[in-house]
Structure 1
Amino acid sequence: MTQALSPSGPSKTAQVRWLILFGVWLIYFCFGLTIASMAPLVSPISAELGISNGLMGAILGAWPLTYILAAIPCGILLDRLGSRHMLLLAALVMAASGLARSCAETPMQLLLAVALFGIGGPMISVGAPKIIARLFHGKTRATAMGIYVTGPYLGGILSLSLTNSVVMPMVGDDWRSVMLVYAVLVALSGVVWFAIASLPAARKQSGGEEGSAKFNLSAFLEIVRLPEVQLILAMSIGIFFINHGLNNWLPEILRGHGFSAVQAGYWAAIPSSVGIIGALVIPRLAVPERRLTVMAALFVFSMAASLLLQVSAGPLLVVGLILQGMARGAMMTVAILLLMETPRIPEERLGLAGGLFFTFAEIGGVMGPITFGVLSDLSGDFVLPLAALTVVCAVLLTILARLRALLRWMGG
């Protein structure tokens, strides 16, 4: 059994956890880079391939659908094989997805290329929480989770703000070349991670991780039958509906307010920038005794943002983007903390629990982009999609109230 690292001390074994955290962060950065890479390019891609908003929504939602099928198997493999090879494979698969997008000649080819990302995605988003849970404990765990979650937000900021202003001009305004550039960056992140994870101190730290857990159906049922887990999984669907819907369509929402492609990219980066602060600060504030209250505040922020994003350019729109960033940056992290610290989930099943979380969450990840695309086609703008977000936030607050009541009852 792997010996937990001491949260303090000068030994190399204790210090290498921060280097491992950087490796995880780097791959997660490229994870976010790839997720956001198509949002600034929706217009040129749609124009070249003849794609409507509804069909583009299906394409943008293709990888979460694959993710749903892959998340639990990835959690099982992680428990059995360990993180070193899994995260390398994650980077290579995500890079292959970017390469395939650059070669797509039809909407179906593009959909399949995006869907491929969903096989690699859970290898990192399922593996990262388990690595953090194993390496960090107490307050440092929340800090570490906040740090690694900044990775995809920084990746998203880079993609949203620089794709149309820097990368597109650099490659001759060819969206295919943009996809290729990002694919190379993702592959390089995998090489860096594998070099870090192969260091003797890192290998020693991982100890008996690989092959230490065996999956069986009873272990899965033991987790999924817990009522508190069921409520957290239900919340995860709504959280990802909101995040994926806005992640993929925010630049187009802003263009609907009269922004140019470059301006929309810069403004769409505001939530990601704020999200970094939220990811670092809010999880530390969400100590167990007030975690549910913090989550309720995040849902309220998200609801307010869904209303304010309907406002044309001005101070209220800025407030909406800031509130959306605060909610986006912390909702998932707090939800994962709730799941990972559920007393009735054994530590050796955290990988499986993570796979379960993201399997359910990505149901919302599929529904969000598709709902936005279909409703925008129906209404001719983004009023209906944003109204759908308001309804989802109200449902999330109801689920959270039920979770609070259940935990109080369990606590006697």
Structure 2
Amino acid sequence: MPLVEQHSKSRWVVFLAYGLLAAATQALFVNYAPVTDDAARHFGVSVGAIGWLSQVFPLVYVALAIPVGIVLDRFLRPGLIVGAVLTASGAFLRLVRDDYTWAFVGQVVAAVGQPFILNAIPGLAVGYLAEKHRATGIAAASSATFAGMVLGYLLGTFLPGESHIRTLTLITALIAMDAGLCLVGALRVSPRAGTGGVSVTGGFRAFRAAFGNRHVRRLCAVVAVPMGTFIALATFVQPLLAPAGVSESAAGLILALTMIAGVIGCAVVPVRAARSGREVQVMGVAIVFTAGACLHLALVPSTPMAILTLLGTGFVLLPALPIVLSLSERHAPEAESTAAGLVWMAGNLGGVLLATVVGVFVTRPEIAFAVLSAATLLALPALRRFRKLQLHDSVR
């Protein structure tokens, strides 16, 4: 085989194993979200306390995104192994005792492992995929994270009730362990020749390269609010829809279908947007649609309305993440993991802030949904600034 062909060959087996672990982390993230009321009764705590079992993931991500990104730009494969170990360890720590304290401790440990996994998406694309496959690979990896949420919501939907909380915890722990073992085994495959699996920039030079990039900074501003809106919905949509007569199992199923719509959207939208050069326009449509969906849920909440608006939101909004990650890798190729860390950090920071606000208004769904609608629209000015920067660079 010619040397050029060897260099351009993509190692998709690594992306498959990575997708399994990325899915496992997100199943842990939403483990208790679709059974919020049941989990609160099981552990003898408030609904707000159960919300923190999910909110701890974006909170920890905000704290660790940049240092973990720096580590991954220098040590991609060891960093991923650390993430796999932390994820599986946290999942099993929740089984030490059947109480809220150990559930929270385990979620925190698993949350520490999450940035090691999610920040690695662009770095894996560079290390293991030919350039022509990278946009597809990033979209597929992002789809895997949403597929993990689908799994988490479906498990909650089909195993409702206080008596199944420990069963849900055990199932997701086994998934995390098996997925971690698959990735550790797959990482024995060497990166593509000439890449080494890491960026040429490492340490704080990677941070300076990513944070000093105007495109990356503006992408962070774009992604913070809509991703925050989605995290807030994923955390609290079940109690928010309950006053409208949407049952706990129905809310879990709607969220699972929302994630499925997102997985489908991620498989289609980012690749087509990249080919046509219309990434900004696609993100603009997603922001406007999401704001409108939240407004409809504030004014006329019902099961049919929730199905219509949330499935549409999943299909148009979730693909914005792989679009932003692909753009960040394109504009900061020397520090792609750190740039991804900044993007994820911005989104998770938005999630912490908006989920906290929504938690305050969890008993007033109309106010909570209205706040999310108004907040989502704040991303449009940031998107316009990013577009102007792109146009400015194109004429230079």
Q: Shared fold by TM > 0.5? A: yes
* 1:372 matches 2:358: yes
* 1:355 matches 2:344: no
Distance 1:323 1:152 in 2: 18
Match of 1:18 among 12, 24, 29: 12
What does 1:297-308 correspond to in 2, within 5 Å?
297-308=285-296
8 A contact 1:309–1:321 mirrored in 2: no
8 A contact 1:78–1:127 mirrored in 2: yes
What does 1:102-121 correspond to in 2, within 5 Å?
102-103=95-96, 107=100, 109-121=102-114
Task: Render the CA deviation track for 1:126-184: whole Å, top value 9, x for unaligned.
Answer: 11221113333555322222222221222222221232424x58xx8231232122111
What does 1:37-186 correspond to in 2, within 5 Å?
37-83=31-77, 85-103=78-96, 107=100, 109-137=102-130, 139-166=132-159, 173-186=163-176
* 1:393 matches 2:381: no
8 A contact 1:161–1:262 mirrored in 2: no
Distance 1:147 1:50 in 2: 39
**Corresponding residue number in structure 2 for 1:309:** 297
**Corresponding residue number in structure 2 for 1:28:** 22
Q: TM-score normalized by structure 2?
A: 0.89
2:192 is paired with a residue of what secondary structure?
helix
Q: Percent identity?
A: 23
8 A contact 2:201–2:334 mirrored in 1: no
What does 1:281-300 correspond to in 2, within 5 Å?
281-287=268-274, 289-300=277-288
What's the offset of the Cα at 1:208? 6.1
Q: Considering only aligned residues, what root-mean-square deviation do their CA atoms show, in Å? A: 2.6
**Corresponding residue number in structure 1 for 2:187:** 197
**Corresponding residue number in structure 2 for 1:240:** 227
1:143 is paired with a residue of what secondary structure?
helix
Task: Render the CA deviation track for 1:183-242: whole Å, top value 9, x for unaligned.
Answer: 1111111111122221xxx22637662676563445423431333322111122213211
Q: TM-score normalized by structure 1?
A: 0.86
What's the offset of the Cα at 1:102? 3.6
Match of 1:326 among 310, 315, 319: 315
Q: Which runs of 4+ in 1 moved over 6 A?
A: none
1:175 is paired with a residue of what secondary structure?
helix
Distance 1:145 1:289 in 2: 16
8 A contact 1:30–1:185 mirrored in 2: yes
**Corresponding residue number in structure 2 for 1:253:** 240
What's the offset of the Cα at 1:244? 1.0
Distance 2:182 2:194 in 1: 21
**Corresponding residue number in structure 2 for 1:226:** 213
* Stretches of structure 1 lacking an aligned partner (at least 5 in a row): none
What's the offset of the Cα at 1:296? 0.4
CA shift in 2, pair 1:116/1:261, >3 Å: same
With 301-310 and 172-181 compared, the bigger mean Cα shift is at 172-181
2:359 is paired with a residue of what secondary structure?
helix
* Stretches of structure 2 lacking an aligned partner (at least 5 in a row): none
Task: Render the CA deviation track for 1:231-262: whole Å, top value 9, x for unaligned.
Answer: 11112221321121111222333333223322
CA shift in 2, pair 1:389/1:131, >3 Å: same
Match of 1:271 among 250, 258, 272: 258
What's the offset of the Cα at 1:323? 1.6
Q: Kindly provide the amino acid, as one letter, of the partner of residue 61 in structure 2.
A: Y
2:94 is paired with a residue of what secondary structure?
helix
Distance 1:246 1:408 in 2: 34
Distance 1:233 1:204 in 2: 29
CA shift in 2, pair 1:204/1:407, >3 Å: closer
8 A contact 1:375–1:385 mirrored in 2: yes
8 A contact 2:266–2:319 mirrored in 1: yes
Distance 1:95 1:60 in 2: 16
Distance 2:82 2:194 in 1: 20
8 A contact 2:241–2:365 mirrored in 1: no
Task: Render the CA deviation track for 1:246-297: whole Å, top value 9, x for unaligned.
Answer: 1122233333322332222212212111101110111012126311111101
Distance 2:103 2:117 in 1: 23
CA shift in 2, pair 1:204/1:18, >3 Å: closer
With 95-104 and 59-68 compared, the bigger mean Cα shift is at 95-104
Match of 2:177 among 177, 187, 195: 187
Match of 1:280 among 254, 257, 267: 267
Match of 2:388 among 389, 400, 405: 405
Distance 1:88 1:216 in 2: 19
Distance 1:179 1:56 in 2: 14
Distance 1:322 1:259 in 2: 15
Task: Render the CA deviation track for 1:6-30: whole Å, top value 9, x for unaligned.
Answer: 7xx6x6x866611111111111111
2:245 is paired with a residue of what secondary structure?
coil
How many residues were matched structurally?
Answer: 391
8 A contact 1:102–1:179 mirrored in 2: yes
Q: Kindly provide the amino acid, as one letter, of the partner of residue 252 in structure 2.
A: G
Distance 1:384 1:195 in 2: 48
Task: Render the CA deviation track for 1:330-385: whole Å, top value 9, x for unaligned.
Answer: 1211111221111xx2x231122222222232211322332221121xxx232222
